[in-house]
Structure 1
């Protein structure tokens, strides 16, 4: 049962990040009209750095695809983790109304990292 829950959550999580990454290239989802002024300034600042949003979009696409596939889910979770921290911080500071969704996504990411912790142990195991 736990594996089915993780699969469904991972599929939805991965598709959300795949969608967000593709949107950074094709801009098919319009920004909400009720964004706070501070959030508009953040988005404008990010857009002035021409390479930043495409770079984040590439990692969201790669991480989202890897997150969906069970064999590569551990790698996808690590790739998406810094992006998730940024999303959580931006929502905490500039748009608290988005914080509940950001927190749920962050918890899903942490849960997957925890479930795949043995795969990460090889990276930090003392080789001496």
Structure 2
């Protein structure tokens, strides 16, 4: 089980690191977007600090998620971004919801797996 958890955490972390780096360096082609999606993306680009912030959160959260000692923190750091991804796909493109739901499940698994580490925060 430890090996499965490590492999999933490594892949999850690398996906977020890649996504964050792509926001800075734009090395992957952008997917086709509808007119409504273009408007939303344009609005996000008007807030000049938003995408760089999301990119840094993705990179830092992805790095933290990979290593067992920092995975609990990485899972919490990535959670708001993951919720945004799931909501975006659910509302804008439900046909592409499968992968975000799998990633969200991995994120929640790591949060529940590390629940004892969070007890001091909620008590």
TM-score higher than 0.5: yes
TM-score category (smaller protein): over 0.9
1:76 aligns with 74
Offset of residue 83 of structure 1: 0.4
Q: Which 5+ residue runs of structure 2 have no aligned equivalent? A: none
Distance 1:97 1:37, change over 3 A: farther
* Number of matched pairs: 123
Q: What is the TM-score with the length of structure 1 in the denominator?
A: 0.92
Between the aligned partners of 1:38 and 1:102, the Cα distance in structure 2 is 20
Q: What is the TM-score with the length of structure 2 in the denominator?
A: 0.95
Q: What is the CA deviation profile of residues 39-93 of structure 1, one whole-angstrom value per residue up to 9, with x for unaligned ones? A: 2222221111110000000000000000001100000000000000000111111
For residues 7-46 of structure 1, what are the structure 2 equivalents within 5 Å?
A: 7-32=6-31, 34-46=32-44
Between the aligned partners of 2:34 and 2:103, the Cα distance in structure 1 is 22
For residues 1-128 of structure 1, what are the structure 2 equivalents within 5 Å?
A: 2-32=1-31, 34-125=32-123
Between the aligned partners of 1:48 and 1:17, the Cα distance in structure 2 is 23
Asked whether the equivalents of residues 39 and 95 of structure 1 are also in contact (C-alpha less than 8 Å), the reply is no
Between the aligned partners of 1:20 and 1:72, the Cα distance in structure 2 is 20
Asked whether the equivalents of residues 36 and 95 of structure 1 are also in contact (C-alpha less than 8 Å), the reply is no
What is the root-mean-square deviation of aligned Cα atoms in Å? 1.0
